[in-house]
Structure 1
Amino acid sequence: MKVIPEGAVGMIDPSELLRPEPDFAEKPISKFRDYSIDETDPLKERVRRTYRLMHKNQTVDFVKKRREHWLKFNHFKATIREALEKLNDLVDESDPDLDLPNIIHAFQAAERAREEFPELDWLHLTALIHDLGKVMAFYDEPQWAVVGDTFVVGCQWADSIVYRDESFEGNPDGDDTRYNTEYGMYKPNCGLKNVMLSWGHDEYMYHVLKHNKSTLPGHALNIIRFHSFYPWHTGGDYEHLCSAEDVENKKWVLTFNRYDLYTKCETIPDIEALWPYYQTLIDKYCPGVLEW
């Protein structure tokens, strides 16, 4: 078990973060994030269909409109727990690894973070709420604009994006000279905080926490904002847009990725027994009723 003092980002060895320990996952590592095409497999076809809709429709104009719509924070009011309990009724249509309600994955990830870094309570809560932006799906947002890996809009689509070769067909940004070059509408090393990602639960939850003045540390907010940005933190793309700050952020995102990805299994945690501990963290970092 490793313990990292709060704030000691530099103590993380990036070489350890690219893969979990051999016994970390409950199934072979190669079996996670399997995006191979099998038209006879309903789960794989559901995933591929979700990404196809995402990649065809997520344009610069679309993302601007969704930001304008959602970042007014006038859709509903709820505590963190109330929002989490909504995830009892959500199965992520982009996920090839888990076909269970999303709240189960939330507690699986949180308990793994708690086991490995017991002193970092903010990391436990971050793991618990990292997918909470998916509540948008209950307010008329299609899942292709809520779930799945994110990517940068406004510049050339990265090679490591899943289904990259076929799924962007029909997206008008691919024919727009403002957006279809390596840098597109951005400057070299402008920093990821200054680029526009495809719209989804990461960006939404990041802004929900900022708007409601959560006291979670900056590391936590960046984990939530970038945890689905696989083409960057795992695919190695978009480095030409990154700043020195992003190098540090990636260390925490890769640490968290082990809890997000490699805890997905059919073992269901005792959620009711765990609530009292996590409620203390909610009260500490995100208390009361939030505007969503």
Structure 2
Amino acid sequence: MKPKPDSPVALLDPSLLLRPEEVFNGKPIEAFRDYTVDDEDPLRARVRRTYYDMHSQMTYQFVQDKMATWLKFNHFKSTIKDALIRLNSLVDESDPDSELPNIVHAFQTAENIRADYPDEDWFHLTGLIHDLGKVMAFYGEPQWCVVGDTFPVGCRWADSIVYGHHSFKDNPDTYNPKYNTPCGIYTPNCGVEALTMSWGHDEYLYRLLKHNGATIPEEGLFMIRYHSFYPWHAGGDYAHLAGTPRDQHIMKQVLKFNKYDLYSKSAAVPDIEALWPYYESLIDKYIPGVIEF
């Protein structure tokens, strides 16, 4: 029997298989990404509310409008370091696993990657900056269109999207025959890169890095662009659209990254000040100077 979409079993990431321990940072693996409905718990109620707002308003046209707004890259100019420091004041409202500022998560992810892949410095930097697109929240964007899991717009919503069977009922695209079939506006096996994803920090940062000429390898860009696409890389959905050999290569890179993104979350805070010189050297190597956001 297939697990219900919101059950912890259904939402376990297959990257677990790459790291066989049963406990991560003192937390059982089944306790991560627990989207149990419990409106008496303030944290879970906040997470569910964030996803309801996202799913009820994230239409295909909404995404087009956000791309028109943000892909001009005319909101502000900053170094990568200064933009990351701003994440000190951001707590992700969609995250059931951490209430620490996002910059702490950035360093946790990067340092866990560095421990396992000491020679892949681009991978360390990818871990550090993967959530940097969340700076949109400081420029008038509500968190529901900045954070959280991503999914394609323009086709039927997948069963594995968290809380989707509750919240998409209020999205007008649910009832639009142009968008509510399995393929919608796409063709079978078109590839993940042909999909228009829900607007959020993943797509924005990917586009921002391309716009500013970052030299992070393609594998790192895949990790950034699709790390929140859980319905695909964890839920097993969208294979009819993203099932090509190239898609499998992209998924392999995303899964390589994902275990460090998710399972590095803990109460242990890295010594960020001591780590900055190393990561500044990587920023200078791969995406130096003041860039356009």
- Is it true that 1:73 corresponds to 2:73 in the alignment? yes
Match of 1:10 in 2: none
Deviations 1:88-138 (A, max 9, x none): 000000000000100000000000000011111110000000000000000
Counterpart of 1:82, as a letter, is D
The normalised TM-score by structure 1 is 0.93
2:214 equivalent to 1:222: no
Secondary structure of residue in 1 paired with 2:246:
helix
**CA distance in 2: counterparts of 1:239 and 1:127, whole angstroms:** 26
| Letter of the 2:36 counterpart | S
> Alignment partner of 2:21: what SS?
coil
CA contact (8 A) 2:150 2:230 kept: yes
2:10 corresponds in structure 1 to: none
Task: State the distance in 1 between where 2:35 and 2:169 align.
Answer: 18
Query: In 1, distance between residues paired with 2:118 and 2:194?
Result: 33
**Identity over aligned residues, as a percent?**
61
CA distance, structure 1, for counterparts of residue 154 and residue 125 of structure 2: 32
Question: Which runs of 5 or more residues in structure 2 are unaligned?
Answer: 1-13
Q: Equivalences for 1:249-260 in 2 at 5 Å?
A: 249-260=250-261
**In the TM superposition, what is the alpha-carbon distance from 1:39 to its structure 2 partner?**
1.5
CA drift of 1:16 comes to 6.4
Which digits, 9 at most, give the CA deviation of each residue in 1:227-270, with x for residues without a partner?
00000011111111112211001111111111100011110000
| Distance in 1 of aligned mates of 2:107 and 2:70 | 26
Q: Which residue of 2 aligns with 1:30?
A: 30
Matched-pair contact (CA < 8 Å) for 2:59–2:172: yes
What amino acid maps onto 1:263 in structure 2?
Answer: S
Cα 1:38–1:112 shift into 2, 3 Å:
same
**Aligned residues of 1:155 and 1:181 also touching (Cα < 8 A):** yes
Query: 1:267 maps to what in 2?
Result: 268
Q: Distance in 2 between matches of 1:270 and 1:280?
A: 17
Q: State the one-letter code of the partner of 1:20.
A: R
Query: For residues 29-178 of structure 1, what are the structure 2 equivalents within 5 Å?
Result: 29-178=29-178
Task: Go from structure 1 to structure 2 and tell me whether the alpha carbon gap of 1:125 and 1:42 turns closer, same or farther (over 3 Å shift).
Answer: same
Q: Does 1:196 align with 2:206?
A: no
**What's the TM-score, normalizing by structure 2?**
0.93
Structure 1 segments (4+ residues) deviating >3 Å: 15-19
Unmatched segments (≥5 aa) in structure 1: 1-14
Tell me how far apart the structure 1 counterparts of residues 223 and 105 of structure 2 sit (CA, whole Å): 16
How far apart are residue 17 of structure 1 and its match?
5.6
Letter in structure 2 aligned against 1:195: L
Counterpart in the other structure of 2:4 = none
Change (3 A) 1:24 1:119: farther
In the comparison of the two structures, how many residue pairs are matched? 279
Deviations 1:40-98 (A, max 9, x none): 10000000000000000000000000000000000000000000000000000000000
Distance 1:133 1:16 in 2: 24
CA contact (8 A) 1:18 1:254 kept: no
Instruction: Give the aligned partner of residue 280 of structure 2.
Output: 279
- Matches of 2:151 and 2:185, distance apart in 1: 14
